[in-house]
Amino acid sequence: WYQRRVRAIIEILAHRSNVQRQQICITYRKIYQKDLLEELKSCLNGDFQDAVEAMVTDPVLFDVQLLHRALFELLTIDGELLAEIVCSRTNVQLMAIQEKYAEVYGDPGEKTETGQPLTLYKDIEKIFMESRLMSDRENAVEFVKKVLEDAYHREWSPKMSPSDRDEQSQW
């Protein structure tokens, strides 16, 4: 039963473009008044569930969720993930991600909902704006890492003990 369901999901989703998968989700909601992703998540688990979720999520929203996770939900800032997203997207994609990020997570005010300082959001804006102007991917990745490292040390290192700082010197 489970294997047949998995095969059917793979057959349908893996052989469609992202636009077609998004249309499938919209049509499913119209017909059944249910969210296809939630229905799929209820019968899947593990890495396959994560892969299906990635396949049926709007790509810009997926990038926004990854960026937010890389910045605020992991124990340390995931500079590699952030650099990968920022440096592998076109300027048009980066602008869409920036707009969607503001739409989904809103204006943070003085502090974010997780208590992170507003200055980190300004660092993110700096990354988006300046990395778009860089034509060399390697320089852009180094720029992203440098901005994040500076932000990390500015925001968190002063609050750490010297021994913790030594252990966390390279996040």
Does 15 or 153 have the greater pLDDT score?
A: 15
Tens-place pLDDT, residues 148-160:
777 667 665 555 4
pLDDT at 45: 84
d(CA 49, CA 41): 6
| Average pLDDT score, the chain | 75
Tens-place pLDDT, residues 83-115:
778 778 887 888 888 788 888 877 544 455 555
pLDDT at 33: 96
pLDDT at 3: 79
Does pLDDT of 147 surpass 80? Answer: no
d(CA 71, CA 137): 21
The dihedral region occupied by 151, where left means phi > 0, alpha psi between -120 and 50, and beta the remainder, is alpha
Distances (CA, A) of 165 to 27, 160, 170: 52, 6, 9
